[in-house]
Structure 1
Amino acid sequence: MKITITGDLGSGKSTIAKILSEELNLKYLSTGAIQRDMARRYGMTTLELNNLADTNKDIDKEIDDNLRALNTLDKNFVVDSRLGWFFIPSSIKLYFLIDIEVAAKRIMNDSTRINETTYTTLQETMDSIILRKSSENNRFLKEYKADCSDYKNFDLTLNTTELKTITIARFIIKIINQKDFQKGVIWCNPKILFPTQNINETFNDDFIDLKDQINLTSPSSDYPISVFERRGKWAILDGHKRASIAIQNGVSLVPVRLIAKNEELLPNNISANKYFDDSIKASWLHDWEQANKFKFYSYPEVL
């Protein structure tokens, strides 16, 4: 079994990769480990190696060749690497997303990131994450024709916001064992989805009948909730009843389909940003919390 993990900064890639390594008895590998081994051979620190890679393309090529070699290696492993999915096409490819605000807080509080820039404000960290992700995606697309922004390239995509790493790891193992992959569907905690309608529209006459009919203790990827994004926050476009039932049933992960984000247009020809701003109301969020008996992890900045 070969598993490759990539995704957003601060999304828990390394932690979950190590859990999968232990649970599935797989060797844990990472780009960082490859770089540390190379640095020792070059007689320098990893930071010095990274600086050298800016002018010496042979460094990146050697890292890429190490990853390519893993594709034909007859061993079981899990790889934490931004381009592992591309260089090891025979692997089960996982992608992790996370709310930018949550990722920024994690990064600012993570003292182990000794070779990364130190940020003074949350906004500065968030802006840096956005720029770095865009820059890397563009570079990978230009140099390798590897599109990290297209989630259909991955066998399983998860939004790790408000989820415990062990919950994520066990869900991944379950999906792998069942071979229940469906590209284009993203799994997330239903408690991170913001409603765009009044709770009275959700709890209408057919809600109880629907709740009795739908068993969402184990949601199917065949019926994803439609969502859209504004700067890391996700809102429901269609599927309020399914989201509410999932929360009330204590479901940790539900399937969603991301229709549009930021300035991309929704089917109504309104940008995701504008529709988010127009549709998110503080009173609706409060009523949603009260009805489903939970509290949102964070609130949209538009409130």
Structure 2
Amino acid sequence: MRITVSGLPGSGTTSLSRYLSERHGFTMISAGEVFRQCAKEHHMELAEFGRLAEKDPAYDKMIDARQKEIAEKKDNIIVEGRLSGWMVEKADLRIWLFAPIGCRLERIVFRDQIADIGTAKAITLEREHCEAVRYRQYYDIDINDLSIYHLILNSEHWEVNELGAIVDTAVGQLQAACGKTA
């Protein structure tokens, strides 16, 4: 089974992916963590690294190609990332997590240890705009087109284990349809 988990920064995609990976024993691949690691390796903030990636498509394309290649070769995998729903063509379950900007900013301030909400908002909105432009340019993908997703969940209203329970039900139904047990 191949599951993708996508959403905007701070929506909880990494947390849900980790939950699903642990719960079902699936391998997890995270584009965001790879991107953050690349930014650190280049001694750059995320927004700054995003601008670099905007100028040189090799950064995005390398991360996306690596995720896609691994996902196509493996089974029982969770692929987390903004584009994973688009990139993993043989995904059995595509999930989009949504959360209002205020909720996401609170999470981002905590996660990325940003000084205040205003700074987090400026960085996040710039990052989202930069990514949307790159996705359109590189792949002709409109990140706001959610029509490819099987589940769209608002992560503001549920803790990760509650979101996980919803997805667990979907996974169980898919496995039952394929003759596998959860």
Q: 1:124 to 1:169 in 2, by over 3 A?
A: same
Corresponding residue pairs, total: 168
1:149 aligns with 2:150: no
Query: Within 5 Å, which residues of 2 pair with 1:222-301?
Result: none
Query: How far did residue 54 of structure 1 move?
Result: 5.2
Match of 1:171 among 156, 166, 170: 166
1:93 aligns with 2:89: no
Query: How far did residue 32 of structure 1 move?
Result: 4.4
- Conservation of the 8 A alpha-carbon contact between 1:70 and 1:88: no
- Conservation of the 8 A alpha-carbon contact between 2:8 and 2:82: no
Give structure 2 stretches of 5+ with no counterpart.
175-182
C-alpha deviations, 1:137-196, integer Å up to 9, x for none? Answer: 2331232111221121211111111311100011111023224xxxxxxxxxxxxxxxxx
| Structure whose alpha-carbon radius of gyration is higher | 1
Query: How far did residue 75 of structure 1 move?
Result: 2.5
Q: Which residue does 1:62 correspond to in 2?
A: 62
Q: 1:95 to 1:47 in 2, by over 3 A?
A: farther
Query: Within 5 Å, which residues of 2 pair with 1:1-303?
Result: 1-32=1-32, 34=34, 45=41, 47=43, 50=49, 53=53, 55-91=55-91, 92-110=93-111, 113=112, 118-120=114-116, 122-179=117-174
Distance in 2 separating the partners of 1:137 and 1:35: 15
Residue identity over aligned pairs, in percent, reads: 22
Distance in 2 separating the partners of 1:16 and 1:74: 20
Distance in 1 separating the partners of 2:61 and 2:9: 23
Distance in 1 separating the partners of 2:96 and 2:53: 25
Distance in 2 separating the partners of 1:137 and 1:175: 29
C-alpha deviations, 1:75-123, integer Å up to 9, x for none? Answer: 221111111111111112111110211111222223xx26xxx353x34
Please state which structure has a larger fraction of its residues in helix.
2
- Conservation of the 8 A alpha-carbon contact between 1:6 and 1:96: yes
Distance in 2 separating the partners of 1:34 and 1:70: 14
TM-score normalised to structure 2 length: 0.77
Give structure 1 stretches of 5+ with no counterpart.
180-303
Distance in 2 separating the partners of 1:8 and 1:36: 15
Q: What's the C-alpha RMSD, in Å, of the aligned pairs?
A: 2.7
Query: How far did residue 70 of structure 1 move?
Result: 2.7
- Conservation of the 8 A alpha-carbon contact between 1:100 and 1:129: no
Q: Secondary structure at the match of 2:147?
A: helix
- Conservation of the 8 A alpha-carbon contact between 2:14 and 2:80: yes
User: Residue type of the partner of 2:15?
Assistant: T
- Conservation of the 8 A alpha-carbon contact between 1:71 and 1:87: no
Distance in 1 separating the partners of 2:27 and 2:159: 22
Q: Which residue does 2:177 correspond to in 1?
A: none
